[in-house]
Structure 1
Amino acid sequence: MSSTLTDQDRPELRKAIEEIVESGFTGVTMRVHDERGEWVGSAGVRKLGETAKPPANGHVRIGSNTKTFTATVALQLVAEGAIGLDAPAADHLPGFGLDPKITVRMLLQHTSGVFNFTGEYYDDGTFAPGIPATTAGQEWVDNRFKTYRPEELVRLALSKPARFEPGTDWSYSNTNYVLTRLLIEKVTGHSLAEEMQRLILGPLGLSDTVVPDTSPEIPEPHPHAYYRYEDAGEQKTVDVTRQNPSWISTGGDMISTTQDLHTFISALMGGKLLPAPLLAEMCEPHPKVGYGLGVFVQKVGHPLGVFVREAGEDGGTVITHNGGTGGHAALMYSTPDGSRTLTAALNYVDDAALSMGEAFQKTTQTLVSEVFGGGRAGAADAAEPTR
């Protein structure tokens, strides 16, 4: 962008991020690129007990935004002829007993029916647990440096009943993207990190984006992430900035910055990473929830899960994926042509009850309204949690 705007230029954006902190978040950094230029602002604190704001381009764990990066790599391999989008995933992953009806497309769109290894929430309100995720309280805190191999996560998921027959419904499952990781690695003979570097990070110069695998480290500068749990009737809050993200794997393990997320989503939507026909398929929404292949497709002014196709509806379309995991979260939005983007990094105190969930949903509604909807109330999105 040709100009960097100040709080005086965009007081509505400054007000929006201050309200995010008032709603209970520890800190937030937001970056907006549009026809008026670039605006970057921070509010709150980078660390509890200190006064410094979160760094303007700090590193955070981006949670389920990882899925958009992973889907893009898979589609790039489709473009190269290495993967068939509608081929059975089991053709490349024969060792898991995967239902042969499950295609690569179904993995990317969450229509495989495969159990979610971080736990499955059913329509009747029941919950079937998976691995000890961040909904497990102290158990997760005590095990946050444990290494899980992706094959282990997949085998756990496949030991559980499928949610539905492949292709007959939609349900968000982190397992789909761990399977996608394993498929990419099998087809290419390289790690996902290597393919990510070859196809996305290198060409776009995303030097602040990391595929950590099992490393608990996060590059400086970064805001701190926290987790609260109860121990013997006492509330404890722990700094969980360092954690082994293999527990979530490709469901949400990557680290990035608001600048790199902007560069990525604007390049992706601008046609710099995928051929036009594949980009169009990526952004074709599933009728149940508006999920494409690694992205949500939404109408501004309508809630998550409602995609309105009729002409003349209020608001435009945004392409998005958000994510939150263990005290860090990231937002990523773009117009379909990549010309206007909103990216944000949040740090907060997470807990087993997902207490910040409602505030997170209101946060995204407010920001999308301000940036893409002209300040109209009701523009909506809620992050799909990684867990």
Structure 2
Amino acid sequence: MQNFHSYCISASGEERGEGDLSARFPYWSFTKTVIAICALKLCESRVVDLDSCTDGGAYTLRQLLNHTAGLPDYGALKTYHEAVDAGENPWSREKLLSVALAKGMLFAPGAGWSYSNIGYMLAREHIEAASGLSFAQLVADIVTTPLGLASIAPVTTREEFAQLHCEAAGKYHPGWVYHGCLAGNVQDAARLLHGLFNGKLLSAASLAEMQATIPLGGALEGRPWTECGYALGLMSGAMGNAGRSAGHSGGGPSCVNAVYHFPDLPEPVTGACFTDGHHEGVAENELGRWVQNFG
């Protein structure tokens, strides 16, 4: 039987949840949304520039955040998955880049789109270097402290990961998520995205920039998407009858999640759903069902 842990918040502030609301889960790629929020906040204070080339590279921070830098992704590497499945410790940064970039870039920066976890690793490293702060401190200063989200923090060791509500807990090293892996409970995930779309984290101009979307196509098999696109740290498109949606899905060994804002519902709703398994579509479909029945 599928176990769902879900939480929703309406525009008027009504909150409702089901499942274990105190358990902490790996946020997986929802971490990308937080990296993008931190980058945009640092842009507001002119610590970083979205359109300047990063660290002498050929690509800009914006291109790293919207996956147009042309970087490959380690998710396509058979040797990566074999090492993870074997319970090995993460490769060094140097080995990762050597293996992933063995065939070079996929395309010239700005000339295409391809999802890249490596791009987000480089984006995180860039904002850390520019600000002089660790990712953990940036998350605390920019996101969790202003919103009062006590459950959210990066997990970096097997011991920290072992405390999470996830079948892989105790077996998996979160260092395999090279851009960093936040963890927290389901209600804090929903509250984080709710805070973003209610203007509590970024200026109106920055939030609009964050939502500038690259259209990527239509339906995906087994998933509720009817329009697909990617913005800055946001999967952005439409999920059937739930209408427009913006947020992020995530998945890793043994569990998946979906955290989205739905502005087209009779009353806009932001929600999160975490569940076991390996297919993000299961969490996305359940969240879409839940938000449509929320009122």
| Structure-2-length-normalised TM-score | 0.85
CA contact under 8 A between 2:242 and 2:291: conserved in structure 1? Answer: no
SS in 2 for 1:321: strand
Shift of 1:142: 2.8
Identify the residue that residue 274 of structure 2 maps to in structure 1.
345
CA distance in 2, matches of 1:321, 1:212: 19
Give the aligned partner of residue 25 of structure 2.
Answer: 60
Which of these residues, 9, 20, 27, is aligned with residue 33 of structure 1?
9
Matches within 5 A, 1:1-387: 21=1, 25=2, 27-34=3-10, 37-42=14-19, 55-89=20-54, 93-94=55-56, 98=57, 100=58, 102-119=59-76, 129=77, 132-133=80-81, 136=82, 139-144=83-88, 146-150=89-93, 152-218=95-161, 220=163, 222-226=164-168, 240-250=169-179, 253-288=181-216, 289-301=228-240, 316-336=243-263, 339-348=268-277, 356-357=278-279, 360-372=280-292
Distance 1:187 1:279 in 2: 21
**AA at the equivalent of 1:32:** C
Q: SS of the residue aligned with 2:196?
A: helix
Residue 210 of structure 1 deviates from its aligned partner by 1.5
Would you say the 8 A contact 2:74–2:100 is kept in 1? Answer: yes
Which blocks of at least 5 consecutive residues in structure 2 are unaligned?
Answer: 217-227
Deviation at 1:277, TM superposition (A): 1.1
- Cα distance, 1:339 vs structure 2: 4.7
User: 1:373 and 1:86 mapped to 2: Cα distance?
Assistant: 41
State the one-letter code of the partner of 1:276.
A
Distance 1:164 1:340, change over 3 A: same
Partner Cα distance (2:268, 2:288) in 1: 15
Secondary structure in 2 aligned to 1:211? Answer: strand
Residue 186 (structure 1) shift: 1.2
Counterpart amino acid of 1:66? T
1:136-190 deviation digits (Å, cap 9, x = unpaired):
2xx423334x144545534543443211111111111101100011101211122
Aligned equivalents of 1:217, 1:370: Cα separation in 2:
31
**Matched residues in 2 for 1:206 and 1:105: separation?**
27
Larger fraction in helix: 2
Closer, same or farther in 2 for the Cα pair 1:361/1:315, shift >3 Å?
closer
Q: Is the 8 A contact 1:300 1:369 kept in 2?
A: no
Q: Contact 2:273–2:287 at 8 Å: present in 1 too?
A: no
Question: How much has 1:342 moved relative to structure 2?
Answer: 1.4
RMSD across aligned C-alpha pairs, in angstroms?
2.6
Shift of residue 287 of structure 1? 2.1
Residues 130, 243 of structure 1: alpha-carbon distance in 2 compared, 3 angstrom cutoff: same
Q: Tell me, what secondary structure is at the counterpart of 2:165?
A: coil
Distance apart, 1:328 and its partner CA: 2.2
What amino acid does structure 2 have at the position aligned with 1:60?
F
Q: 1:257 to 1:156 in 2, by over 3 A?
A: same
Tell me the SS of whatever aligns to 1:225. coil
Looking at structure 2, the residues matched to 255 and 172 of structure 1 have their Cα atoms a distance apart, in angstroms, of 22
The one-letter code sitting in structure 1 at the alignment partner of 2:246 is: I
Q: CA deviation at 1:130?
A: 6.2
Identity of aligned residues (%): 27
Match of 1:379 in 2: none
The secondary structure found in structure 1 opposite 2:151 is: coil
For 1:254 and 1:315, locate their aligned partners in 2 and report how far apart those are by CA, in whole Å: 27
The structure 1 segments of at least 4 consecutive aligned residues displaced by more than 6 Å after TM superposition are: none
d(CA) in 2 for partners of 1:339, 1:152 = 45
